[in-house]
Amino acid sequence: MTKPVLFITRKWSPAIGGMETYSIKVVEHLRTKTPVQVLHPKMCNTGRPKLFPLLWFFIAATFHVLVKGRNYSCIHLGDAVLYPLSFLARCYNLPTFITFHGLDLQYALKPSFKGRIYKIYLSCLRYAPISCAFPNSNYTASLIPTTISRKVVPLGSDLQHRSVVTKTLRPTLTICYVGRVIPRKGLVWFIEEIFPYIDNCVLQVVGPTPSHICTKYNSPKIIWHSQVNEYTLDKLRQASDIFIVPNIPTSTDVEGFGLVCVENACYGVPVLVSNWQGLSDAVIEGTTGFLLEPGQPLPWIQKIEEIQTWTPKSWQNFALTSKKALPYYSWSRVVEDYISTYETYL
């Protein structure tokens, strides 16, 4: 591409979140392959911009596309909210691409007043002149209007695989959960329905946790880490035998691509994941982890008990197999998929 790609996103640092990480990593790795110009809102000291700065950013992005659109080879929009900018790109016949995360479509499902307004806002998405959409999972792809061409591009991770030569069998199995403790993430369900039936194990919970949850489930077998730095998180993951992502279905929430599944899999031990929506694309069954029925305790209990019987050779084989599969979940592969699609439409 002789001209740069214009990447427009409303999610950027210092705010912290999955969509912010996505924007930063995609731009970082795209720049190793092709010139990229980024438009993002000015972030306040607390991270996320307020409503009026976001509106101003949208206006500024509109004028930028209208005035300088001819200077770019194509436009890549960071999420569904920005889709109206695709109409402006038509002024220069610019190919326009957009990433769908799942969560950016979720809000339209909420029964609140704001949710209904957002649903109306997205109702025109089907008419947007989008060259190709990039949903991050097959489930997210199913939410996109059928009028829009799409290519599923699962997300990546920068974490390196941890080499595992031998697995020291410990008398106590360490199960690790990394993430927010909210109803749809399923941790409370796991603690109530599964954990009491697993012998010789401890549960490490890493992530922001409401104090009443810690109090209610206070136990020497459950260790809470509400705030940890990257070094401590790495050490906790290295000391774990199993990771769990036990999400349960809810009526108004959409689960996008489960990046935490990929990050956990880098440590060469099994990741047990609910076979639900976008999480299903974040695990290679039997290679980086196992997909289990959400909200069904018995398959989870049986799989954990099976893993407890693994020999050191079994642990080593699993680690080596997962290592070979993980390059698929890299940011380099993500941007290669993007660039090959860009070039198709140029």
Residue 285 confidence class, pLDDT cut points 50, 70, 90: very high
CB contact burial 47-79 (16+ within 10 A = b; e otherwise)? ebbeeeeeeebbeebeebbeeebeebbbbbbbb
265, 242 contact by CB (below 8 A): no
- Which amino acid is it at 329? Y
**What does pLDDT average to over the chain?**
91
Calpha distance 337→341 (Å, rounded): 6
CA 199 → CA 73, 115, 174, 278, 308, distances in Å?
Answer: 59, 44, 11, 31, 10
Q: What is the mean pLDDT of residues 125-144?
A: 95
- Looking at residue 47, its pLDDT comes to 54
11, 17 contact by CB (below 8 A): yes
Q: What is the mean pLDDT of residues 275-284?
A: 92
Task: Decide if pLDDT at 254 tops 80.
Answer: no
Q: What is the CA radius of gyration of the chain?
A: 21
- Looking at residue 298, its pLDDT comes to 98
- Looking at residue 63, its pLDDT comes to 96
Task: Decide if pLDDT at 226 tops 90.
Answer: no
pLDDT, one tens digit per residue, over 178-212 is 998 999 999 999 999 999 999 999 999 999 899 99
- Looking at residue 165, its pLDDT comes to 47
**CATH tag, 173-328:** 3.40.50.2000
Sheet holding 222-225, edge to edge: 222-225, 201-206, 173-178, 242-245, 271-274, 289-292
Task: Decide if pLDDT at 280 tops 50.
Answer: yes
Domains of the chain, residue spans: 5-156+330-345, 173-328
Q: What is the mean pLDDT of residues 136-149?
A: 93
- Looking at residue 89, its pLDDT comes to 95
Task: Decide if pLDDT at 42 tops 50.
Answer: yes
Residue 48 confidence class, pLDDT cut points 50, 70, 90: low
pLDDT, one tens digit per residue, over 73-102 is 999 999 999 999 999 999 999 999 999 998
Bridge partners for 340 per DSSP: none
> Which SS3 state, helix, strand or coil, does residue 341 take?
helix
Residue 255 confidence class, pLDDT cut points 50, 70, 90: confident
Residue 328 confidence class, pLDDT cut points 50, 70, 90: confident
Q: What is the mean pLDDT of residues 277-283?
A: 91
Q: Which residues contact 12 (CB under 8 A, 6 or more apart)?
A: 20, 23, 24, 40, 41, 43
Fold for domain 5-156+330-345?
Rossmann fold (3.40.50)
Of 187, 255, 258, 259, nearest in space to 225 by CA: 187
Half-sphere exposure (Cβ direction) of 297: Cα atoms closer than 13 Å: 12
- Looking at residue 49, its pLDDT comes to 64
Sheet holding 132-135, edge to edge: 36-39, 5-8, 74-77, 96-100, 132-135
- Looking at residue 16, its pLDDT comes to 65
- Looking at residue 270, its pLDDT comes to 95
- Looking at residue 1, its pLDDT comes to 80
Question: Counting beta carbons within 10 angstroms of the beta carbon of residue 140, is it exposed (0 to 12), middle (13 to 18) or buried (19 or more)?
Answer: buried
- Looking at residue 104, its pLDDT comes to 86
Sign of the CA dihedral running 17, 88, 6, 262? positive
Task: Decide if pLDDT at 248 tops 50.
Answer: yes
